[in-house]
Structure 1
């Protein structure tokens, strides 16, 4: 292990032994610059080709090569993020307002608008007006996270949030990680990699209308039913016709729809999973 990490330019910081079970732990530190990479006598493992995208992460085969440390100040990863909790609220330094954000504004303005939007929604609606006992909620998922604003708004709650970035959506997962939040890519036309009855609360903002062109909404609703524990909830925000379709499907699975709302092009639903299971099965 020491030989391999040395060849990768990682520094061995310290080796400690657990006083209780006697297990040893070694702590290594990744280099801050490319100096060591450039000075290596034996270039094994090799550096990746210049055209190899270090940000590619979905269905990408593993390679035995290393990417260089970014040196441009505008590149993600060139500087350490801001201290917590400031990094949660401020847009990353490497975002440039010359880029357009998801909602059409310059990306930093987009980020701040999204953060403020979800702060207001969570504070004024979700924490008080949806009948959710937050003392019973721990495992939360934002099924279509954009910048992670929903998760950031829950900072003061005793929950953790899995932020899911859809594979057919703009890649905002680096921003979510930069904020110090959890996240992953996923295609909701596929099964989600988790055990059944895992989550206490799911949040789906404009998710179902997005996936319906690629797969039936029914398949996603059934997957929702699989991963939510009995007594768990889902909050759906979408166009009214899509919300109505989701409501019908949830009722067919014996979910209790506790709130529905529609105004203009905005529909909303809150539902709770029951402990009902079918008595007969079709194989």
Structure 2
């Protein structure tokens, strides 16, 4: 009688969703009792074997050896996991469920494995390393398909902004940099943490004083207004770029994977934009005329090497009217070697028509800097005594710099009609100066911005179960005009905008908006740490 009364009450209240859910539950339990009378593991792998499609991938062979620089013996990093879950067994069970064979990378250094930068077989066959060929991309064929393991003792990363100052030691267990740079205040080990005091090779007294000194000697830089997008060459642990975030400057910090152990890995763990790259024989994966400012503090690049190609590459990606800050010993020391380097730099910058607007000694850091400005008009090129280096051809020259050799020429300048992007933050939503002149381009750009703004606010921020307070770095694998990054701009995170090389080239517009990004081919691995 009580049950009948409760049922009538539910019907009177029109609680139909509850009734429907309860009915489904009864049907499901009845089904289990009829078709599964024997108790067994409900998620056993064998239960799924008849429902999985056969893999369309080729059989996986054992991945090539990942060797250290000294070709040490290979060790199995899973041997220490006694008493823990058998990762290989778990992966094998999942393999059966999805029809693909996966296995953990077990070779020495597997936790830091980057396929296209750690291909020691290809690197060993290089005829020359003079131009940093061994630090460039050499992707293995076929690509390894093992899963990179976590470092032993890995923990959930420290949240931003605390992570800028300290990270877990076990997440990036590379202590050599502590000893190597101990007199420069880069990083120190404290208990279970690496701590970053904000020092650097050229700013031992603190990076913020160094930044203030630059603004003081050249106020027109206007950090976070006129200067929004910056490139830091040979960035160390990226303290310079990390500090500039407080001034609304987003810095792409880059360095090669070399003897400065894990500097980019430190930067990424700290939550600072960074990537692995080198100025060697190929162009950087950025479009022409993209960066407002480029910085080099003792970055160990020989700008006059190979006929000045490295500096001409900076000239290519530096925005007309933009600045190059060079803080290095040839600027302020007078020994013979530094004097020769300075002499070569003067000759080269004059040849490419860069104007030295500041050359001074920073009392705050006890170092000297020179600041060059790239001109807007090509008139200087025309009036040179020698056409060396020459202007690049004016044909259909692609912006895309993926696997393109460095050039010994200067890209033409736009002239007096050139327009610098609007001050930040207006440039984020203004029409980019480099937007395609094709029909409907402006309408498409505005529509993309509106689309992502609505999608992020209505779906991403509330309906996908992401705790955005724990997210610091995001990658947009097909960025378009950067609409997704624009919609996330008020969150405490940064976005790496990737424009695939087979998609329309919109990367210049992304930089015009005050965002950062790169070209990439997703058939190959990305230049970053696991």
Match of 1:249? 348
Match of 2:376? 275
Following superposition of structure 1 onto structure 2, how do residues 166-245 of structure 1 map, counting pairs within 5 Å? 166-170=256-260, 171-190=262-281, 191-207=283-299, 210-212=300-302, 215-216=305-306, 218-240=308-330, 241=338, 242-245=341-344
Cα RMSD of the aligned pairs, angstroms, is: 3.3
Match of 2:112? 55
d(CA) in 2 for partners of 1:213, 1:255: 14
d(CA) in 1 for partners of 2:377, 2:259: 34
1:261 and 2:363 are equivalent in the alignment = no
Match of 2:93? 41
1:93 and 2:169 are equivalent in the alignment = yes
1:114-161 residue CA offsets vs partner (Å, 9 max, x unmatched) = 276212211x31233223133111210101100111011112122211
Alignment partner of 1:112 out of 184, 187, 197: 197
Match of 1:155? 245
Identify unmatched segments of 5+ residues in structure 1. Answer: 5-32
Q: CA deviation at 1:238?
A: 0.7
Match of 1:15? none
Higher relative contact order (CA 8 A, sep 6+): 2
Following superposition of structure 1 onto structure 2, how do residues 122-133 of structure 1 map, counting pairs within 5 Å? 122=211, 124-131=212-219, 132-133=221-222
Q: Say whether the 8 Å CA contact 2:155–2:168 is kept in structure 1.
A: no
Match of 2:492? none
d(CA) in 1 for partners of 2:351, 2:305: 19
d(CA) in 1 for partners of 2:307, 2:157: 38
Change (3 A) 1:120 1:38: farther
Task: Between 90-99 and 268-277, report the one with greater CA deviation.
Answer: 90-99
d(CA) in 2 for partners of 1:239, 1:211: 13
Secondary structure of the corresponding residue to residue 240 of structure 2: helix
Q: CA deviation at 1:49?
A: 2.9
Q: Say whether the 8 Å CA contact 2:111–2:149 is kept in structure 1.
A: no
d(CA) in 1 for partners of 2:307, 2:85: 48
Q: CA deviation at 1:219?
A: 1.4
Secondary structure of the corresponding residue to residue 250 of structure 1: helix
d(CA) in 2 for partners of 1:255, 1:35: 60
Q: Say whether the 8 Å CA contact 1:205–1:238 is kept in structure 2.
A: yes
Q: Say whether the 8 Å CA contact 1:254–1:276 is kept in structure 2.
A: no
d(CA) in 1 for partners of 2:320, 2:308: 19
Q: Say whether the 8 Å CA contact 1:188–1:220 is kept in structure 2.
A: yes
Change (3 A) 1:128 1:214: closer
1:84 and 2:160 are equivalent in the alignment = yes
Tell me the number of residue pairs that the alignment of Structure 1 and Structure 2 aligns.
245
1:61-108 residue CA offsets vs partner (Å, 9 max, x unmatched) = 3311112333x22xxxx1121111110122443367964524245941
TM-score, normalized by length of structure 1? 0.73
d(CA) in 2 for partners of 1:111, 1:56: 25
Change (3 A) 1:97 1:177: closer
d(CA) in 1 for partners of 2:269, 2:294: 23
Match of 1:103? 181
Q: Say whether the 8 Å CA contact 2:164–2:196 is kept in structure 1.
A: no
Q: Say whether the 8 Å CA contact 2:304–2:348 is kept in structure 1.
A: no
1:165 and 2:255 are equivalent in the alignment = yes
Q: Say whether the 8 Å CA contact 2:324–2:372 is kept in structure 1.
A: yes
d(CA) in 1 for partners of 2:175, 2:350: 46
Task: Between 197-206 and 186-195, report the one with greater CA deviation.
Answer: 186-195
* Larger helix fraction of residues: 2
Q: Say whether the 8 Å CA contact 1:46–1:66 is kept in structure 2.
A: yes
Q: Say whether the 8 Å CA contact 1:114–1:147 is kept in structure 2.
A: no
